[in-house]
Amino acid sequence: MLHAASAQDPRIQVYQNAGKGPSSARDFGGLFFANCEIIAFCDADDIWGPDKLSQLATCFADPKVDAAFGKIAFFQDDPVSATTFSTVPSSPLSIPMLLGENPVCTMSNIAVRNTAFMRTGGFDETMVHNEDLEWLIRLVGTGAHVVGIDKCQTWYRTSRYGLSADLRAMQRGREGAIRTAATFGHAPNRQSDAIFLRYLSRRALRLGQGRLLPLTFALQGILRSPAGFFNAPRRGLATLAGALLAPVLPAQLSQHLFSR
């Protein structure tokens, strides 16, 4: 399909970097073949909205913007059925923000100026989990001005079997991101740790991952910092309720009620 599209439109070029992982693929394209001003990523399971590129073009008309991201719609089978949506912060992306709950959510949801991407040196190809978080910290740490666009731009397919579904590995991968943050003079506090644990609990509920894992993450987050876990009261209370009820509710009902 891609080769057929490329034959009809010379702007479309196809390169193969098979079997080397997402970080290698992004570096392969971004560092060696992208000769345009703006680089935007899209993973195989995700979908861009029809207005995404035009909205990005408007945003990047401001020369002060180095990177931009929008809202995410989460779905499993049918994009139209998405009922869970991310939010974008009103202020530019910061390292302390990233050490809590990453509002970008997925690399399919960000576009970056070629010059800013080059300053980061690309992705850490030794990392398999949370490599996007580690790169975002370097992006912001090297001076990029990253803003959110309050419009849904990307539909993200949740899967129980993808790399990002391994929540324990995601938790371990965050340690690499924390080490990178330290090189820019930032360290997570108890509140940001609690926000991250709330995020893991919500993902465990959304993915239907067992009866006790959501509760484990939620209790760890509350013990780490009640103020952090409930900094967004509605989200914190809904997550705790879902985690407490997950052991007794049918998995599909739990996902439907508490992953929003």
CA–CA dist 216, 12 (Å, integer): 46
From the centroid of its chain, how far is CA 57? 21
Q: Which of 184, 100, 174 is nearest to 143 (CA)?
A: 184
Report the alpha-carbon distance of residue 42 to residue 110 in Å, rounded: 9
pLDDT per residue as tens, the chain (260 positions): 777 888 888 887 777 776 677 778 787 777 777 778 999 998 888 999 999 999 999 999 999 999 999 999 988 778 887 778 889 999 999 999 999 989 999 999 999 999 999 999 999 888 877 889 999 999 999 999 999 999 999 998 876 555 455 777 778 888 989 999 999 999 999 999 999 999 899 888 877 766 788 899 999 999 999 999 999 899 899 899 889 988 777 766 655 554 44
CATH fold of 2-187 reads Spore Coat Polysaccharide Biosynthesis Protein SpsA; Chain A (3.90.550)
Would you list the domain boundaries of the chain? 2-187, 189-260
Global pTM reads: 0.85
